Amino acid sequence: MDELEKKLRLQICDIGKNLFNKDFIAANDGNISARLSETEVLATPTGVSKGYLEPHMLVKVNLQGEILEAREGYRPSTEVKMHLRIYRELPEMNGVVHAHPPFGTAFAIKGEALDKMMMPESVIAMGEIPLAKYGTPSTEEVPDSIMPFLGKKTAVLLESHGALTWGKDVMGAYMNMERLEYTAKLTFLTRMIHGERELPPNRIEELVALRSFYGM
C-alpha cells in the first residue's frame, strides 16, 4: 500500500469519527469516499458505524462500482453510486461525503433549499445550497437527481433524505458538509427568533466578487 492510500484511509476514518461525534450520522448511516487514482476509489463499507471505522475496513471499487479489494465481511454501500457519479462526471473532484445532519436533513424533509444569503462566509464559500429531487436510495434516481448541480455546486440537500457534499479532496468535501449544516442551523435559529434577514443585494454582489480572491 502506498503512502497516499495509507493517508487517505486514515483521513476517511478521522472524518467518520467527526461526522459521528457531531451527530451528523446515526448508527451505521452515511458514507465517505476518496479517489485514489484515475480508476480506483476508496469507500466506507456498509453496515458499520462510521464513528468506529478502522483503515482496513475500507473497500476499494472502480468507477463502475465493481469491488477491487475488500476484506472479508466488508462490502460497499449501495449509496456509493452517487459518489461514483461525481467521480465520473467531475475529474477534478476527489472526495465525497454523505450524511444526515439534523438541521440540513430537516430542511431536506421540508423540501426547502438553503438559499438565503445571510452571512458573509456562507455567501463566499457556498452560495445557495440547492435541493435535489427525491430518489429511492440505492437506485440510479439519486445520482440522476444531483446531475443538474454537478460542476456548479459542491453541496446539495437530498430531498427527504439528507445531504451530499464533494470537494477537491475528501477533507474539502467534509468541510462543505460542516458548512451546509452550519447554514441550515443558522437558518433555523434565525427563523426561531424571527430574525431571518438577508444581506442587501449590493453587499451580496461584493461577497460574490471576493470568491475568486479566496480561490473559490
Collapsing DSSP to helix, strand or coil, 180 comes out as helix
Q: Which range touches Zn ion (CB under 5 A), out of 106-114, 116-124, 160-168, 186-194?
A: 160-168
Question: CB 156 → Zn ion: shortest distance, Å?
Answer: 13
Which CB atom, from 87 or from 127, has the smaller least distance to Zn ion?
Answer: 87
What is the number of the residue whose Cβ is closest to Zn ion?
Answer: 162
Which CB atom, from 99 or from 126, has the smaller least distance to Zn ion?
Answer: 99
Which CB atom, from 35 or from 83, has the smaller least distance to Zn ion?
Answer: 83
Site for Zn ion in 28-67 (CB under 5 A): none
Pair type for strands 31-35 and 95-99: antiparallel
Pair type for strands 40-43 and 31-35: antiparallel
Question: CB 96 → Zn ion: shortest distance, Å?
Answer: 12
Q: Which range touches Zn ion (CB under 5 A), out of 39-47, 103-111, 161-169, 205-213?
A: 161-169
| Total number of residues that touch Zn ion (CB under 5 A) | 1
Question: CB 3 → Zn ion: shortest distance, Å?
Answer: 31
Nearest-angstrom CA–CA distance, 62 and 75: 13
Which CB atom, from 104 or from 127, has the smaller least distance to Zn ion?
Answer: 104
Of 125, 129, 158, 121, nearest in space to 143 by CA: 158
CA distance readout (Å), 146 to 61, 70, 104 = 21, 28, 16
Site for Zn ion in 78-107 (CB under 5 A): none
Burial 99-130 (b: 16+ CB within 10 A, else e): bbbbbbbebbeeeebbebbbbeebbbbbbbbb
DSSP state of 166: E
Q: Which range touches Zn ion (CB under 5 A), out of 15-23, 50-58, 162-170, 184-192?
A: 162-170
Residues in contact with Zn ion by CB under 5 A are: 162
